[in-house]
Each structure stands twice: as structure tokens, then as C-alpha cells.
Amino acid sequence: MVTFEFLDWLWIVLFLFIMIGAGILFYRLGKRSESDFFLAGRGLPWWLPASSVYATHTATDTPMWVTGVIYKYGFTGIWYTFFAAWCAISAFVSTRIFRRSLAYTQAEWNTLRFHGVGAEMLRGWISGWQVFMNMFILGWVGMAMGKICNYMFGWELWIGLIVFSAVCAVYVLAAGYWGVIMADFQQGVIAFAVIVIVSVWGIIAAGGSEGIITKLSEMGESWRLNPFHFSGWFEGDFPAAWFITMMVIALIGGFGMGTSIDWYAEAQRIQSSKTVRDASYSIWWGTALVLIRNSIWAVAVLAFFVLFPGITDASEYELGWFRLGFDYLPAGMVGFFFAAIIAIHLSTISTHLNLGAMYFTRDLYLHYFKPTAGEKELVWVGRFATLVLLIGSFFYGLMMEEITSWLIFALWLMAAGVWLPNILQVVWWRFNSWGYLSSWIANLGMSWLVVWILPSYGVIPELPDYQQFWLLMLLGAIIYIPVTLLTKPEPMEHLVKFYAQSRPIGWWSPVRKEAQKLGLLNHLNKEQTKMETA
Amino acid sequence: MKLIRRHWTPGSADEWTKEDWITIIISPLCYILLSIGVGLSFLLLPVGFITLTAGIVLIILMHWIIDPKLKSISHDYEEKQQQYLEELENKVRWEEKNG
């Protein structure tokens, strides 16, 4: 239990006042149109969505799992957090392609890239999946806040879950994405400052940098300082093969769209940016901040290890970074620390409330139910969807203990068997909607087989997760590659339109030739003629 | 011909060129060096400062290479954006258009 002084409560009240104030302040902008409510009118300079990328991916459970992997594996554990690096390549490839398409959502992009019934089925599936996923993430993150409040104040879990998400909903309902982005900027600054302060405080408490290095050496744990201390090439619980798989997934994944679960939130930030350049820099710098933050955390966790070595219970050492704050910060600062935890929490909640509502409004309501809906109506539908997501997340959060293992399995589905198809849809003109749909269906079946059914019957051994990834990728390809080649390509007219607008990278030469023939690549044609004349 | 092109016309900037591929290679290196460099610098290790400096130099180089191209793409594209947006709205509201 943590005891608060008057100054601590003051920090919290002040902070909540600022957050809700931001919503009221941007209420007029948010209600102007659908584009304002969900994309802030597509006019943001790069640093605003960048701060939102950073703030959104700093959730209440993030310090727990970062602490968990660093405490267990030392500085090498930093690679567990490196999945965010898909933005390294994405910022300059898929971000550019997606921003040029002007699609609000990934589901909408599917109907620009693919055609006909297959495209519509994909749009329905992706949007329904995203509404569900956002509700799930809201419940998951909300429950993490419930646990923190339980640890700090002894509150029942539901209190922390409901109170702070409901506060957040006030400004999301009022100002939509304008409220999200403006609050994220403040929250990002506060959260980053506090992460640095608490971490430095913890490092000093452990005897400073020199003290940490000396103590680790005395304990015979100097290997914890090495960022490449793997358990072997293939053996042990942290082999180099895992690291290489992570690098491939994260980095090559940047050529595709949806290769990371974070893509869907990032896609909203990409489209809200003023230009293609702003979109690229927002994604790149937002992620750079995430990685810098992880490294600062890693050092603080090494400090925690020096102060409290030998903890074997994961649920205990996962709270290590929070303990540094609550145990070592002076009175009056603890409230500021808790205000930062609220900031971390609200930034994630607000994003997923607005994102889930966007998929519901744009892809389900407007596209399938009422294409004649006006702007005002869409803003109200957005608000209604926000409210439904909020209430749904409370139920998810309270059920979380029972459904967690199922939903983690559902998250796993997002990554393995559809990883390559998510890239192919961007880089290969011949990949069609039926191939993509079949990859989702195949992945569903294969994941069950590889992860649970075959190992339980002893047909295959229980594989480490990185081997499951490669196997699922291979098995999926056996299905979707033949399906793609045995079904018709998307109509050339549709592909040409998509190509001329988005200019995708990769194997697009038949489409490109057709686009050139039709004079759709005007600039290029003129320049080539000029060169030929010269 | 210069190794790195820094002046672009809208048409040439639309193409995927070696400047993009160099950026695609440098960008992950920046992230790796930043991740290691920041952590080890907080521990005041010399190798941390060297790694971090290398990361910062690469970030500057990456921006120097890709920024002129991104500016050119953005400038040209924003001019067309309104027309694209109208087309997109028509596509989304397909019932209205066809009905």
C-alpha cells in the first residue's frame, strides 16, 4: 500500500483537469466532420502523431513485461522489445504507400488493393476483427490499471479498470481524435519525463552506474550488461535463432501492412499526418522514442536487480520498475509518478477507443449499413461506438482471467501465418483477395494444429515460439500460394488505378506497363520523353 | 552521376530508387545502435557513447539522403490529394453513387 500526501493528490487532480480540459478545448474541431473526429482533418505536423505513437505504445502493462524480460535475461532482453522496429522500414515503404492511398483504415485499404466480393469479405473481416481487438486491448490494459490500483491502494480490481477508462472516454467522446492526439502529446511528454526521473532515481539508489557494474561483477552476473548474451545458437530459452527470427519479423515486416498488431493504430497516425513526409517521420521518430525508452527502462531494471537480486516469482519482479518509483521517490513526487501512470494508461485507452470506433463507423456503419449517412450523423455514430467499446471493455476486463490464454492465442494468429501474406499484398501484384482470405483461414486451422493439437498427440514436439513461426509460415504458404495462382488476378483496371495512386514497391511490372500505356504515370512519361529527346 | 541524388522532380521522386534502398538499410541500423547506445551510455560505458554517436551520425545521414525525396513526393502529392479524397468518398458511399 502507498500513502499519499496532499501534494500527491494535487498532482493527480491537476493532471486529470488538464486531460479533460483538452477534450473540451478541441470539442468544436472534433465535431466538424468524420475526417476530424477520426483523423484530425489529416493536417497534423509529424511531431504530433509521433508523440501519439510513443504515448500509445507506453501502456500500464509495458513497464511490467519490459521489467520481466530484462530481469530474467539481462540487457539481452532488450531484443524482446525490438518488435517495434518494424517501423524502421515501414516508415519509408508501407507508410508511404498507405498514406498515398488515403484509406482511413486498413480494412478500407483492402478494397482499394483488391476487388469484388473477395475485397468486401476482407473488409468485413478486418473491420470486425479490429472492433473486437480494440475492445480486447481496452479490457486488457484496463485490467492492468486495476491491478496497479489494487497494489497501491488496495482497491477492488474493477475500480481501477472502470474509473480511469471512463475519465478518458470523456475527452474521446467530446473531441474524437483531436482530443486523443492533443492529450497524447501532453501525456507523452509527462510519461517520458517521469520514466527518465524514476529510472535515474533507481540507478542512483543502486549506487550509480559504477555501483551497478561493480555489484553485478561481485555477484558474478556481469553477463547481464552484454546485449548479445544468448543461450546458444538453438539451445536454451533465449537462443540466437530467436533473435534472428525477431529481426526478420520486425524488419522485413516493414515492407507489409498489418505484420505487427501495432500497424492498425499506426495507420491512423499515418493518415492523420499532413503529408507523406510527415507520416514517415511521425512513425520513425515515435518508434525511436519507444526504443530509447525501453533502453532507459532496461538500465533501471538492472539497478532493480542489484537492489533486489534473486526474486524468482515473475509476478513479483515484473513490478520492479514501479517499486523503484514508489519506494525511492521523495514524498510529493509519488503523486506525480502516479499521475504519469495515469498518463501512460489514458494515452493507450484513448487511442483504442477512437480506433475501434473508426472501424465501426467507417467500415461497418458507413460502408455496409448506411452509405448515405451525413458528416454529423457519422460523428454521432463514432461517439456511440466509442461508448459501446468502453462498456464492452469493462466486461472483457472482468472476464480476462478466464479468457486470457484464448486471446493470446488469437493474438498469435495475427502474427505467424499471415505475416508473409501481409507483405505480399503490398509487394506482389498477382497476390489476390482469395489468396489473402485463404491465408487467414489456413492460419486459423494451422495454428491450432501446430500450437496445441499435434503436440498434445505427440505427432510433433512442443516447439519453441520462433520455430512455430517458421513452420506456420511454411504451412500457410502451401495453401495460399496455390489458391492465388489457381484463381484469377484482380482486374487490371483496378490494379492500375491502385498502382497509379499508391505506387507500391516490389513486383508490379505488368501493372506498371499498363499504367504507362494509359498515360497515368504522366510525370514519368514526360521525363522519359525529355531524356529520349535529349 | 552523383552517388546520392538530392534534387528531385515529382515524377522521378515517385520511383523507388537506390536512395530508398540505402535508407531501408540504414534505418534499422539506427534503431539497433540507438537501443544499445542509450542503455550502455546510461551505464557510462565508453562503448555506449561510441555506439550512440554512431547511431546519431547515421540518423543524420539517413535524413540527408531521404529528406529531399520525401519533400518532393509530398509537395507533388498534396496537390492531387483533394481529387483522390473525393474519389475515395464516392467509392465508400457506393450505394449512394450507384443507387
- Report whether pLDDT(A524) > 60: no
Q: Give me the pLDDT at residue A397, please.
A: 87
DSSP-assigned states of every residue in A367-400: III-TT--HHHHHHHHHHHHHHHHHHHHHHHHHH
3-state SS, residue A428? strand
| Residue B81 within any structural domain of the chain | yes
Residue A35 and residue A26: Cα distance in Å, rounded? 14
- Report whether pLDDT(A24) > 80: no
Q: Give me the pLDDT at residue A409, please.
A: 62
3-state SS, residue A507? strand
Averaged pLDDT, A353-362: 97
- Is residue A531 less than 8 Å (CB to CB) from chain B? no
Question: If you measure CA to CA, which chain B residue comes closest to A501?
Answer: B84
Q: Give me the pLDDT at residue A493, please.
A: 94
- Region for residue B60 given its phi and psi (left: phi exceeds 0; alpha: psi -120 to 50; beta: otherwise): alpha
Distances in Å between the alpha carbon of A295 and those of A101, A138, A239, A280, B47?
Answer: 35, 26, 21, 23, 15
Distances in Å between the alpha carbon of B58 and those of A88, A132, A288, A373, B32?
Answer: 13, 40, 13, 49, 11
CB distance A118 to A432 below 8 Å: yes
| Residue B2 within any structural domain of the chain | no
Residue B56 and residue A35: Cα distance in Å, rounded? 36
When pLDDT is cut at 50, 70 and 90, the band that residue A532 belongs to is very low
Candidates A340, A316, A318; CA nearest to A329 is A340
| Residue B51 within any structural domain of the chain | yes
Question: If you measure CA to CA, which chain A residue comes closest to B27?
Answer: A88
More confident residue, B88 or A233: A233
Cβ neighbours for A226, distance < 8 A, ≥ 6 positions apart? A74, A75, A76
Any idea how long chain A is? 534
Q: Give me the pLDDT at residue A20, please.
A: 81
**DSSP label of A340:** H
3-state SS, residue A44? strand
Min Cα–Cα distance to chain A from B85, Å:
7
Min Cα–Cα distance to chain B from A390, Å:
27
Select the residue from A282, A295, A358 to test the B interface by mutation, using most B Cβ atoms within 10 A. A295
- Report whether pLDDT(A315) > 70: yes
Find out if CATH 3.30.460.10 is the number for domain A6-31+44-401.
no
Residue A493 and residue A472: Cα distance in Å, rounded? 34
When pLDDT is cut at 50, 70 and 90, the band that residue A522 belongs to is low
Question: If you measure CA to CA, which chain B residue comes closest to A373?
Answer: B93
Question: If you measure CA to CA, which chain A residue comes closest to B93?
Answer: A371
Q: Give me the pLDDT at residue A526, please.
A: 57
Lowest mean pLDDT among A287-291, A339-343, A424-428, A523-527: A523-527
| Residue B78 within any structural domain of the chain | yes
Candidates B69, B62, B67, B52; CA nearest to B28 is B62
Burial class, A414, CB count within 10 angstroms (exposed 0-12 / middle 13-18 / buried 19+): buried
Select the residue from B50, B70, B75 to test the A interface by mutation, using most A Cβ atoms within 10 A. B70
Averaged pLDDT, A12-18: 87
Number of Cβ within a 10 Å radius of residue A235: 10
- Structural domains counted in chain B: 1
CB distance A398 to A158 below 8 Å: yes
Averaged pLDDT, A134-155: 88
More confident residue, A140 or A420: A420
CB distance A257 to A422 below 8 Å: yes
Residue A187 and residue A51: Cα distance in Å, rounded? 9
**DSSP label of B8:** -
When pLDDT is cut at 50, 70 and 90, the band that residue A404 belongs to is low
Min Cα–Cα distance to chain A from B80, Å:
10
Question: For the segment A246-260, what is each residue's pLDDT rounded down to a tens digit?
Answer: 999 999 999 999 998
Residue numbers in A near B10 (CB within 8 A): 523
Q: Which residue in this structure is represented by grid cell 547506445?
A: B37
The ipTM of this complex is 0.91
**DSSP label of A490:** P
Q: Which of B15, B43, B73 sits opposite A212 (nearest CB)?
A: B43
Candidates A329, A347, A326, A340; CA nearest to A14 is A340
Question: For the segment A492-511, what is each residue's pLDDT rounded down to a tens digit?
Answer: 999 999 999 899 999 999 99
Averaged pLDDT, A40-58: 93
By residue range, what is the domain housing residue B74? 18-93
Question: For the segment A164-208, what is each residue's pLDDT rounded down to a tens digit?
Answer: 999 999 999 999 999 999 999 988 998 899 999 999 999 999 999
Q: Give me the pLDDT at residue A31, please.
A: 84
Lowest mean pLDDT among A148-157, A321-330, A521-530, B82-91: A521-530
Candidates B46, B92, B5; CA nearest to A101 is B92
Number of Cβ within a 10 Å radius of residue B74: 23
CB distance B36 to B48 below 8 Å: yes
When pLDDT is cut at 50, 70 and 90, the band that residue B99 belongs to is very low
- Report whether pLDDT(A434) > 50: yes
Min Cα–Cα distance to chain B from A367, Å:
6
Interface of A with B in 220-249 (CB under 8 A): 225, 227
- Report whether pLDDT(A403) > 60: no
| Residue B53 within any structural domain of the chain | yes
Min Cα–Cα distance to chain B from A440, Å:
24
Per-residue burial over A12-39, b = 16 or more CB atoms within 10 Å of its CB, e = otherwise: beebbebbbebbebbbebbbebbbbbbb
Candidates A59, A54, A349, A11; CA nearest to A192 is A54
A371·B95 Cβ contact <8 A: yes
Burial class, A254, CB count within 10 angstroms (exposed 0-12 / middle 13-18 / buried 19+): buried
3-state SS, residue A273? strand
Q: Give me the pLDDT at residue A408, please.
A: 61
Interface of A with B in 356-375 (CB under 8 A): 362, 366-367, 371-372
Question: For the segment A437-448, what is each residue's pLDDT rounded down to a tens digit?
Answer: 999 999 888 888
| Amino acid (1-letter code) at residue A59 | A
Q: In percent, how much of chain A has pLDDT > 70?
A: 95
Q: Give me the pLDDT at residue A59, please.
A: 85
| Residue B10 within any structural domain of the chain | no
Residue A507 pairs in a beta bridge with A428
Q: Give me the pLDDT at residue A165, please.
A: 93
Extents of the domains making up chain A: 6-31+44-401
**DSSP label of B43:** T
